[in-house]
């Protein structure tokens, strides 16, 4: 059962509503954050809330409650909802205004937390691997809006996702305007070649995912060489292994890209090691 907190009030899925004049709806003017619950605990809560408030700061938006209070409400909601394994969505919008673009019409930002579950792919995709294609829709230019901002406007990613849906793919790979690998429709991308783990650096125009950073930590702890450097599709095609990471996706192996099989099988040894270590960390 879903539980939703909106500006201090608790709701269920049927009673949770916002105004049609909220600028988060009208213009995508707001930020969000996804967070996992494992064994009844919000995983990496502080890192996620730090990123939420940093995103808000970057778009000149002050959340209506402080970070400590947001953390307290998060913990209260987990208990109220009785969640042991779940997914949380924190949203802060510019608030209710008028039909103009001017944010000054919004008297107060809106804060929302959704307590629910999420499933992106069938469970077998985590053992058989994802079938992917390159999307024609490019990543938005990082000079337009920093990719470090998790804004409510995900339309380019949705357009790329729709390309994959119509081609009956599990997921898509998005490129930047220079042809370099950016990310999937909402996940970071990793490859493994000759035992070395590589992922695009944040400065190239990708979101610096919390799970992405955890994987780099896990690789270091396991003695697996890891680096951040630009990669292109050739690097993915010829990789020994490849996988995606994200709060909702966790760690998901890639079986093929654009009809080319990645490595020798659906899950390589390095990917398997990182998946096992991630599971141990989240349940530990």
Cα–Cα distance, 115 to 211 (Å, whole number): 20
Q: Is residue 129 domain-shared with residue 78, that is, in the same domain?
A: no
CB 207 within 8 A of CB 147: yes
Q: Is residue 41 domain-shared with residue 110, that is, in the same domain?
A: yes
Q: Is residue 144 domain-shared with residue 223, that is, in the same domain?
A: yes
Mean pLDDT calculated for residue range 49-67:
97
pLDDT in tens, 136-165: 999 887 777 888 899 999 999 999 999 999
Q: Is residue 129 domain-shared with residue 101, that is, in the same domain?
A: no
- Give 247-284 as a DSSP string: TTTEEEEEEEETTEE-SSSSS-HHHHHHHHHHHHHHH-
How many domains is the chain built from? 2
Query: Last residue of some domain: 60, 92, 116?
Result: 116
Q: Is residue 81 domain-shared with residue 139, that is, in the same domain?
A: no
Q: Is residue 167 domain-shared with residue 94, that is, in the same domain?
A: no
Q: Which residue has the higher pLDDT, 202 or 35?
A: 35
Residue written as token pair 């205004």: 97
Q: Is residue 140 domain-shared with residue 72, that is, in the same domain?
A: no
Would you call 184 helix, strand, or coil by DSSP? strand
pLDDT at res. 147 = 82
Which residue range forms the structural domain that includes residue 231?
125-283
Band the pLDDT of 36: cuts 50, 70, 90. Answer: very high
Mean pLDDT calculated for residue range 66-74:
98
CB 188 within 8 A of CB 207: yes
Range list of H helices, the chain: 23-27, 45-58, 67-81, 125-128, 155-166, 210-221, 233-237, 269-283
Query: Last residue of some domain: 85, 116, 147?
Result: 116
pLDDT in tens, 119-131: 999 999 999 999 9
pLDDT in tens, 169-218: 999 999 998 999 999 999 999 999 999 999 999 887 788 899 999 999 99
- For residue 284, pLDDT over 80 is answered with no
User: The domain that contains 146 carries what CATH number?
Assistant: 3.20.10.10
Taking residue 100's Cβ as centre, other Cβ atoms within 10 Å add up to 11
Q: Is residue 109 domain-shared with residue 222, that is, in the same domain?
A: no
Q: Is residue 98 domain-shared with residue 220, that is, in the same domain?
A: no
User: The domain that contains 44 carries what CATH number?
Assistant: 3.30.470.10
pLDDT at res. 265 = 76
CB 212 within 8 A of CB 188: yes
Query: Last residue of some domain: 98, 116, 134?
Result: 116
Q: Is residue 59 domain-shared with residue 112, that is, in the same domain?
A: yes
pLDDT in tens, 229-264: 999 999 999 999 999 999 999 999 999 999 999 998
Cα–Cα distance, 188 to 209 (Å, whole number): 7
Cα–Cα distance, 271 to 241 (Å, whole number): 7
Q: Is residue 213 domain-shared with residue 276, that is, in the same domain?
A: yes
Cα–Cα distance, 109 to 56 (Å, whole number): 11
Q: Is residue 273 domain-shared with residue 135, that is, in the same domain?
A: yes
């Amino acid at each position: 059962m879903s539980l939703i907190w909106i500006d201090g009030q608790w709701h269920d899925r049927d009673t949770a509503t916002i105004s049609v004049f909220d600028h988060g709806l009208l213009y995508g003017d707001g930020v969000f954050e996804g967070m996992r619950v494992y064994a009844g605990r919000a995983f990496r809560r502080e890192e996620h809330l730090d990123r939420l408030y940093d995103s808000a700061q970057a778009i000149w938006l002050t959340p209506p409650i402080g970070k400590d209070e947001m953390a307290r409400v998060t913990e209260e909601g987990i208990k109220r909802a009785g969640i042991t394994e779940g997914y949380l969505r924190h949203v802060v919008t510019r608030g209710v205004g008028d039909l103009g673009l001017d944010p000054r019409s919004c008297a107060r930002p809106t804060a929302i937390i959704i307590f629910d579950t999420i499933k992106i792919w069938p469970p077998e995709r985590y053992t058989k691997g994802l079938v992917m294609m390159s999307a024609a829709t490019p990543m938005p230019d990082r000079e337009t809006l920093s990719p470090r901002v998790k804004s409510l406007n995900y339309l380019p990613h949705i357009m790329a996702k729709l390309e994959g849906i119509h081609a009956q793919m599990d997921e898509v790979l998005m490129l930047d305007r220079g042809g370099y690998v950016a990310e999937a429709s909402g996940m970071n991308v990793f490859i493994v070649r000759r035992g070395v783990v590589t992922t695009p650096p944040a400065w190239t125009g990708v979101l610096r995912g919390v799970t992405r950073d955890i994987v780099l930590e896990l690789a270091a702890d396991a003695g697996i060489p890891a680096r951040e450097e630009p990669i292109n599709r050739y690097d993915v095609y010829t990789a020994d292994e490849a996988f995606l990471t994200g709060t909702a996706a966790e760690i998901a192996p890639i079986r093929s890209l654009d009809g080319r099989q990645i490595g020798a099988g659906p899950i390589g040894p390095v990917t398997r090691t990182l998946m096992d270590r991630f599971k141990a960390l989240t349940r530990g």
